[in-house]
Amino acid sequence: MASPQTQLSDAQYATALWYVAPGAVALQTESLPPRGADQVLVRSAFSALSRGTESLVFRGEVPEAEYERMRAPFMGGAFPFPVKYGYATVGQVQAGPAELVGRWVFSLTPHQDMFNAAIDSVSLIPEGIPPMRAVLAANMETALNAVWDAKVGPGDRIVIVGGGVVGCLIAFLCGHLPGASVTLVDINPERSATAKALGVGFAQPGDAPIDCDLVFHCSATQAGLATALGLAGEEATVLELSWYGSKSVLAPLGGAFHSRQLRLQSSQVGHVSASRRPRWTYKRRLGAALTMLNDARLDVLLAEPIKFLELPATLPEIFDGRSGVLCQPIDYL
């Protein structure tokens, strides 16, 4: 990648990934609008696919009633298609204020090789955090918000059902609580190695701890939700982070659900947790999430990057639920 000092002239064109029909994507060249005085020009180095949300976009499974709420901050087009979607891009500032040129930034921008962004909409990546690891920032922000929603504490018995990226990051954050017993639960035994690398326990559903103080559900499956409810202790909370798109799931609310006074609560990153909302802005929360990425153990979540220009050919396999990929970085360099 050329040094930023040689890239100060503003770009006129960019190439972006568009979801154009169910199961179909295309790379399209588009004109960049003139950069404003309050904007920076950023050359992308890495972005990350959100296998949960973006796979629903890819398949056209965003419910019509959720079109507005599911818009990404800098999305192009409109649901269902064509739409330019994504929210985890890391790049290097090429033009703008002198003190920002050459700095690495994170942006909630879709998959695109060059873009202009308002200065206050990008976040500086703290020193010591590799650019590729920084693509986890949006997922870390979701995990942080969930931990706030859950109100977990030291010594708690905590289970996370679903070992995707968000589930793993929640486990990682909870693993820092003194005296807490933290177990990642997944049907895939290979997640055992991931849990070990993150410093938490692992179990398959049949061997998971019961009578838990807090259960996070992140599997986006009906069976996972049933498992989560079954592991919750008396009067405990099951925090639901899964989003099912246009699908409906059956929740087993019979049996002892009422007599044990279980609580099923949603958590969604679109709102700052009520416990922090009076004091925390979205910007502050994202900044905190970025600082929490300063731990090399998190690299276990990153798959081998794929080249940006190869996305149309590789996306169907990545979005296949059997792929085993956690966070899929995209390499623009």
Task: Compute how many other C-beta atoms are within 10 angstroms of the C-beta atom of residue 164.
Answer: 23
Kindly indicate whether the domain formed by 4-132+302-331 is annotated with CATH number 3.90.180.10: yes
**Cβ atoms 180, 203 nearer than 8 A:** no
State residue 1's pLDDT score: 42
- Residue (of 94, 101, 47) closest to 74 by Cα position: 47
Kindly indicate whether the domain formed by 139-266 is annotated with CATH number 3.40.50.720: yes
**Cβ atoms 123, 129 nearer than 8 A:** no
Q: Which mean pLDDT values do the consecutive 10-residue runs of the chain (333 residues) have?
A: 48 95 96 96 97 91 92 95 97 97 98 98 97 98 98 98 97 98 97 98 98 97 97 98 86 92 95 96 97 98 97 91 87 96
- Residue (of 241, 233, 232) closest to 168 by Cα position: 241
CATH 3.40.50.720 in the chain, residue ranges: 139-266
Q: Is the pTM of this model over 0.85?
A: yes
What is the side-by-side strand order in the sheet with 76-77?
24-31, 13-21, 83-84, 76-77
CATH 3.90.180.10 in the chain, residue ranges: 4-132+302-331
State residue 9's pLDDT score: 63
